[in-house]
Amino acid sequence: MRTWTRFGVCASICAVMLFPLYAMLVVAFTPKSELFNGGTHLWPARFTTDNFTNLFDRFPIGTWFTNSVLVAAITTAVAVTCNLLAGYAFAKLHFWGRSPLFFLILSTMMIPAQAIMIPQFRMVSALGIFGTFWAVILPSAATAFGIFLARQFMQSVPDELLEAARVDGAGNLTIFLRIVLPLCKPLIAVLVLLSFMAQWNDFLWPLIVLKTPELYTLPVSLRFLQGQYDANYGGLMAMALLTCLPLVVLFVLLQRYFVQGLARTGIK
Amino acid sequence: MSVTRRQFLAGATGVAASTWLTGCGGFSKSSSDSSTSKKTVTFMTWASDAEASAFKRLASAFEAANSGVTVDLKIVPYAEMFTGVDAQLQAGTAPDVFRVDYPTMGLYSSTDQLLDLTGHLDSTLTSDFIPALYQAVQFDGKPYGVPHQTDTTCIVYQPAMLQAAGITSVPDSLGSAWSWSEFSDVANKLKASLGADVAPFAYDWQAAGAYRWLTWLFEAGGKLLESDLKTAAIVGAPGTKALEFTRSFFENEWVPKNTSIKGAYPDTVFISEKIAMSFVGDFLLPGIDDGVKNKFEWKATFQPQDARASSDLGGNALVATQQASDPDLAAEFLRFMVSADNMSAFCEEAVELPTLQSLVGEKLNYATRPDLMPIFAQQATTMTADDVAQVTVPFFGQINTLLADQLEQCFTSGQSVDDTLSNIANAVETAAKG
Amino acid sequence: MAAVETVDRTTAERGGSHGRRQLVIREGVTGYLFVWPNLVLLTLFLFVPLGWALLLSLQDAKSFGPATWVGLDNYRTLFTDSVFWRVLLNSLVFTAATVPTSVAIGLVLANLLNRALPARNSLRTIIYLPIVISGLVTSLIGLLLFDEGVGILNGVTRSLGLGNVDWQTNGGLAMLSVVLMTLWTRIGFAMVIYLAGLQDIPEDLYESAQLDGASELQQFRFITVPMLRASTLFLVVMNVIWSFQVFDVVYVMTNGGPGFSTSMLVTYAYDRGFGPSRDFGYGATIGVVLFVITLVFSLIQLRSSRQEA
């Protein structure tokens, strides 16, 4: 297929894929009165930052933003560490029950989160962490997808490297830290991004287990805006923009590693 | 294994960070959980902007009137309010006081989650409550909360659109409210005059408001439950009449197609001038006012009547939980919130109706459209104690859900009227047993 | 002399094999040590709750008040629950609509964007950017686009003179709107996985095919697609799991409506468990059934692919 045909097809698809984000951007800056006048809203007559200033007036955005960052960062740290360790173990260490255990862990991906929400918060209150950030961090750090990616990726680390290190007398931990991890930078990027993103975007669980509004994370604010009867799209889009902007920035910065990392999970 | 300086630094930072973090509020049980020398009342509620500001003012007033007491007001999103309450009740960390609508309250009062207020409320107060509403907060003859405010539905309309359709008179008193046939006339005239894009009206039965369909049933002289509150009474002539009439809204295209039970809320549609009239609750007036601003003039009138007039039970009660650390203080707070002065202040700011008889006749200084509120106040008096009893049974939550499902099937999926009525009757009786 | 040497050698050998077994044991222990943090988390927050959910499904449990054991009653009710079957059908339709489509489009895009193209990196970024947009924000944008009254799409169709489209009142169109928003977030991931897979296909395969006179389409069918089989398997399994577990988009955009046209298994479980009826037992039952269905499907997929290979 000729280059320009390919470009044309791709560009059109991209235009369609970009349209929702464009809509969000435009409406975030459209004044409320214009939103209800039945027009197309594709290019408002007036631009305003009222939607944003309103948000900052009504809600403790700064606090919620900090909460989101804190919770997402810690969850990511815990989850990625656990996933790397476990991934390495499943990829390179031989221990009794390794295969069945791995499949057992994979099967947890099939559990729908909402179906176990009630037992999960009974667990959380039994552990005495209900109402604290740990109630959000710990359950979210338990994810099988990360272990799966880590194991796939680490399988591509050549065994000879590890053998050589062992012959030199290195212990397992040293091999892991000094040899394997430095080779895993793309994997770490993928795990960090996916974990941070999943935690940042979660709204239902934090809403239920964080009973104090001061502890809320940013996406929860979107539920406030949806209100009991409201359809204030201007405010909603403004908040939505604030909510996804940090992730978009993070993603654009890390995207090279992300693609590399996924590639080397060797899904083949 | 030698530890490099970098490793040491990393480790030290980690330790320092985690120490700081554990000191940080979100990581340990907050101090308000443990008893401190300051007495605290935790109050959990959802709130519109107007309600939130009113609650905050009243909370400060309570603190000022009771030195050494703090009111910890927690405002949460409506959609997940009760999931949160349920979770906290189960975890044993429930708020001392929370706000709950009358139909949902039965679930908590009948399962021993709420504080029995007998002995905390004196008879001058309880006899001043509107009887139907005081009835609504009782279970087994005992009060488990205080009725704080009530809302009901009336019709808001654009006079310009009605005049253009040749509708010259609009009811201005409860007695002269449109009959069903007069209402049908109005709808037909509007349909003829308005054109394809605009519909005559929309009704507010979306989502959790499905029970507002019962207004039509009551107006037709029907009932949902017999007086034993366990046997279904909906199958019969009034039920058939009500369901056929409401289904005709969709058949005759009197309402926009997307405003059925699982559809869009009518107030937004009214603001964007896609309907000439809308059935809305009084709590929506501030939002409509804000959305309409000066675009067009709008007024209100009464709901239609048939065999009788009726309306829907809206509004919320304030309740205290069994888990409250200081039951007397919690009860004190409840009494404070329903005293005449505080109730009228709240209702004026939030644009909602009071629950004390002594306030009903008074001209309250509502923050938005004080000219329209008397209409809502009068419409609220059409509810009888019997109506209220039917919508406040402990299992009403289930009734609301099944009503929503069955009505949706009838309105949009062509389920027959007879089937719908018998389905509802069966489901109601199953719920009553469970 | 020889005897001593023999003794020494035997000792050395024995020391050698003992040392080797020690290594194996130590590796095994290390393996467990490395795995236990994750295992603790998974046990506490996934395995135990799953077991609990199983217990709940055997009870008539409401939010409060005592729960009574009812054995398999909930499951019996489930099988005669017409709403459940409708919801199951919806989930199947949704899965059938989203999985092949997103995988296929991802494959096509990966191919198109594999070779040099102006602004290739930007194009790729635009396509997989929606991955980071949360389900909630995606649904809100979906509402903005598809709202019948004030939505953007209807605004456009109205200004083009085509009138209103019944995105929310027509069951089929509502399902379409939910499917479209889901596809928006899935295509990018498929594309990335395929891009990675394409890098591993040796160039000379294509060269020799071209020499044999194969057209681009034939090269695609007979070289590209088979070589990407592992990627396809991975994508299909993951997408099916995700589609069966769809929640946010439906919960926020249509709330399952109109009627039950867009209700899915998880939203139905949530409605029954957390909605006004607060029937935790029944909600747990639906969840358990969903888990089993997904598990069975994945096993079938894996087994059939292993047989092929």
Among chain C residues, CA nearest to B395: C277
C244–chain A Cβ distance below 8 A for any pair? yes
The pLDDT of residue A74 = 93
B/C interface, count of CB pairs below 8 Å: 82
**Which residue out of C82, C148, C170, C282 would a mutagenesis test of the B interface target, given it has the greatest number of B Cβ atoms within 10 Å?**
C148
Q: Subunits that touch chain B (at least 3 Cβ pairs < 8 angstroms)? A: A, C
Interface probe for C, chosen from B110, B262, B406 (most Cβ of C below 10 Å), is: B262
> A60: which residues sit within 8 A by CB, 6+ positions away?
A214
With a cut of 50, say whether residue C5 has pLDDT above it: no
What the block records as the tokens of B261 is 């039970």
pLDDT in tens, chain B (434 residues): 344 455 555 555 555 555 555 445 566 654 444 444 568 999 999 988 889 999 999 999 999 999 889 999 998 888 788 888 888 887 788 899 999 999 889 889 988 899 999 989 988 899 999 888 898 899 888 999 999 999 999 999 999 999 999 998 899 888 899 999 999 999 999 999 988 888 999 999 987 788 999 999 999 999 999 988 889 999 999 999 999 999 999 999 999 888 888 777 888 889 888 899 999 998 888 888 888 888 899 999 999 999 999 999 889 999 999 989 899 999 999 999 999 999 999 999 988 999 998 887 778 889 888 899 989 988 988 888 889 889 888 888 788 888 988 998 899 888 999 999 999 999 899 888 76
Residues of A with Cβ-Cβ distance to B31 under 8 angstroms:
none
Give chain A positions within 8 Å (CB) of B212: none
How close B86 comes to chain C (CA, Å)? 7
3-state secondary structure of B13: helix
Q: Range with the lowest mean pLDDT among A119-123, A157-161, B152-156, C161-165?
A: C161-165
Q: Which chains touch A (3 or more CB pairs under 8 A)?
A: B, C
Chain B contact set for A239 (CB, 8 A): none
* pLDDT for position C48: 92
Calculate what percentage of chain C has a pLDDT beyond 90.
Answer: 21
A175: its two tokens: 């091999």
**The pLDDT of residue C90:** 94
Chain B: closest CA distance from residue A81 (Å): 14
Residues 6+ apart with CB under 8 A from B36: none
Distance CA B19, CA B15 (A): 6
> What is the model's pLDDT at position B88?
84
Contacts of C169 in chain B (CB under 8 A): 257-258, 260, 263, 412
Taking the C-alpha atoms of residue A33 and residue B270, their distance in angstroms, rounded to an integer, is: 13
B164, with CB counted inside 10 A (0-12, 13-18, 19+), is middle
**pLDDT average, residue stretch A59-76:** 90
**pLDDT class of C214 with cuts at 50, 70, 90:** confident
Q: Would the CB atoms of B107 and C63 count as touching at under 8 Å? A: yes
Contacts of A227 in chain B (CB under 8 A): 48, 77-78
The b-or-e profile of A209-239 (16+ CB within 10 A means b, else e) is bbbbbebbbbbbbbbbbbbbbbbbbbbbbbb
pLDDT at position B10, please?
A: 52
- Max mean pLDDT among A175-189, B415-429, C145-159, C192-206 falls in B415-429
Contacts 24+ apart (CB under 8 A), B31-34: B32/B72, B33/A131, B33/B93
CB neighbours of B411 closer than 8 A, spacing ≥ 6? B246, B247, B250, B260, B261
Min distance C96 CA to chain A CA atoms (Å): 18
Picking from C54, C215, C49, C193, the residue whose alpha carbon sits closest to that of residue C111 is C193
Nearest-Cα residue of chain C relative to residue B104: C276
Of the partner residues A85, A96, A262, the one whose CB lies closest to the CB of residue C37: A85
B28 inside 8 A of chain A by CB: yes
In three-state secondary structure terms, C114 is coil
Cβ contact, residue pair B29, A211, below 8 Å: no
For residue C119, what is the nearest residue in chain A, using CA coordinates?
A7
Q: C touches which chains (3+ CB pairs under 8 A)? A: A, B
Q: Is A119's CB within 8 Å of C56's CB? A: yes
Q: What is the structure's pLDDT at B431? A: 84
| pLDDT at residue A46 is higher than 90 | no
List CB contacts (< 8 A) between C31 and chain A: 89, 93-95, 98
CB contact under 8 A, A174 and B1: yes
**Which residues of chain C does B113 touch, with a Cβ-Cβ cutoff of 8 Å?**
64
Residues A94, C28: C-beta atoms closer than 8 Å: yes
Determine whether A124 is exposed, middle or buried from the number of CB atoms within 10 Å of its CB (0-12, 13-18, 19+): buried
pLDDT at residue B7, rounded to an integer: 54
Least CB-CB distance to B91: which of A32, A74, A121? A121
Interface residues of B toward C, Cβ cutoff 8 Å, are: 83, 86, 89-90, 104, 107-108, 111-113, 196-197, 207-208, 256-258, 260-264, 268-269, 272, 274, 396-398, 400-401, 405, 408-409, 412-413, 431, 434
Distances C81 to B355, C76, C175 between C-alpha atoms, Å: 42, 9, 22
Cβ under 8 Å to B: A residues 217-256: 220, 223-224, 226-231
Interface probe with B: pick from C62, C268, C277, C278, most Cβ of B within 10 Å: C277
Greater confidence (A104 vs C65) lies with A104
Reported confidence tier of residue C7, pLDDT bands at 50, 70, 90: very low
Q: Which residues of A touch B267 (CB under 8 A)?
A: 229
- C112–A222 CB contact, under 8 Å: no
C-beta of residue B153 within 8 angstroms of C-beta of residue B212:
yes
pLDDT, mean of residues C11-30: 68
From the list A27, A67, A63, the residue with the least C-alpha distance to A236 is A27
Taking the CA of residue A6 and the nearest CA in chain B, the distance in Å comes to: 41
Q: Report how many helices (DSSP H) and strands (DSSP E) chain A contains, helices first.
A: 14, 0
Contact A127 C35 (CB under 8 A): no
Specify the higher pLDDT residue, B306 or C8.
B306
Q: Is C27 in Cβ contact with A110 (below 8 Å)?
A: no
Show residues of chain A in contact with B40, CB under 8 Å.
none
CB contact under 8 A, B26 and A38: no
Let me know: does A176 contact C27? Beta carbons within 8 Å: no
Note whether B1 contacts A211, CB cutoff 8 Å: no
Q: C77 or A39, which is more confident?
A: C77
- Shortest Cα distance from B68 to chain C (angstroms)? 34
Of B364, B388, B375, whose CA–CA distance to B154 is shortest? Answer: B375
Asked if residue A68 has pLDDT above 70, the reply is yes
Closest residue of chain B to C255, computed from CA coordinates: B262
Cβ–Cβ gap A38/B90 under 8 Å: no
Which of B258, B409, B413 is nearest residue C148 as measured by Cβ atoms?
B258
Say yes or no: ipTM exceeds 0.90: no
Confidence class for position C1, pLDDT limits 50, 70, 90: very low
Question: Could you give the CA distance from residue A84 to residue C38 in angstroms, rounded to a whole number?
Answer: 10
